[in-house]
Structure 1
């Protein structure tokens, strides 16, 4: 029986490259001259530091642009609220990897409500979709792609 897996993965090397690109752009921008602002990548998170809140907003915009240039979906970003430490502001960006249980249940419900003749099974942080016909699987892929669930999904391991 044909099957495929629905996963949510991020290429962390591309995130690191986007962080480096944003840091380079930060060093060349005129409005950030003489200001203590930086991007820092560590442990699958990006930490932005600046002297003012509006600078953090500009830095987030720069980082989103760098991410999209590296073909990383920005909907996987989980931007935390900023916090102030003395005269510096700090904001952390985490990344959503894997499909959490509530999101997986939403996907299963979405596919079942559409009455597509496939079976979905939650396997940890991914979903396995099996069906008798390839067309049914493609219909399930289209349903998940057009649903806005707040994170990017990839479809892997398609077997006939």
Structure 2
């Protein structure tokens, strides 16, 4: 009785941990001496983080604090897609940071191509923002997992 086994390749951030990291960054910024009296704000909704700072140096400092807090909470900073820095009123700057959710179509096509090029006997298919890999042999699936982790 040989059935097929499968696993999904998915990229979903833990939004609660991102929210906690943002709150920790806000708390640290409010307590740091170099931010006393300076404009330094962070807003978080489920799709993006908006950062408003006095100048570009403070903005980059806020980003470093935020990334550090995310790493401590076990969330990869690779989920952040930093937008361009825009000038705001009063000589301040702001930046919108999008949170990547799911695998893009191009990246999914690359993953499927890598799996097919590996010549392992599995099937890979793209389903919206995930890639499903299925095969009869669990060892083949584990080989695919190791190959993808290596990349």
For the superposition of Structure 1 and Structure 2, which TM-score range results when normalised by the shorter chain? over 0.9
Of 59, 64, 70 in structure 2, the residue corresponding to residue 61 of structure 1 is 64
Distance (whole Å) between structure 2 residues aligned to residue 78 and residue 142 of structure 1: 26
Task: State whether residues 80 and 94 of structure 1, in contact with CA within 8 Å, keep that contact through their aligned partners in structure 2.
Answer: yes
Distance (whole Å) between structure 2 residues aligned to residue 85 and residue 73 of structure 1: 29
Q: How does 1:1-160 map to 2 (within 5 A)?
A: 1-86=4-89, 87-147=91-151
Who wins on radius of gyration, i.e. which is larger? 2
Residue 38 of structure 1: CA displacement?
Answer: 1.1
| 1:151 paired residue number | none
TM-score (norm 2): 0.94
Residue 65 of structure 1: CA displacement?
Answer: 0.3
From the two aligned structures, give the one with the greater helix fraction.
Answer: 2
Residue 43 of structure 1: CA displacement?
Answer: 3.7
Structure 2 stretches of 5 or more lacking a match?
Answer: none
Task: State whether residues 15 and 46 of structure 2, in contact with CA within 8 Å, keep that contact through their aligned partners in structure 1.
Answer: no
Q: Deviations over 1:98-127 (max 9, x none)?
A: 111111100001111111111001111111
Task: State whether residues 99 and 125 of structure 1, in contact with CA within 8 Å, keep that contact through their aligned partners in structure 2.
Answer: yes
Distance (whole Å) between structure 1 residues aligned to residue 107 and residue 147 of structure 2: 14
TM-score (norm 1): 0.89
Q: How many residues align?
A: 147
Structure 1 stretches of 5 or more lacking a match?
Answer: 148-160
Give 4+ residue runs of structure 1 displaced > 2 Å after superposition. Answer: none
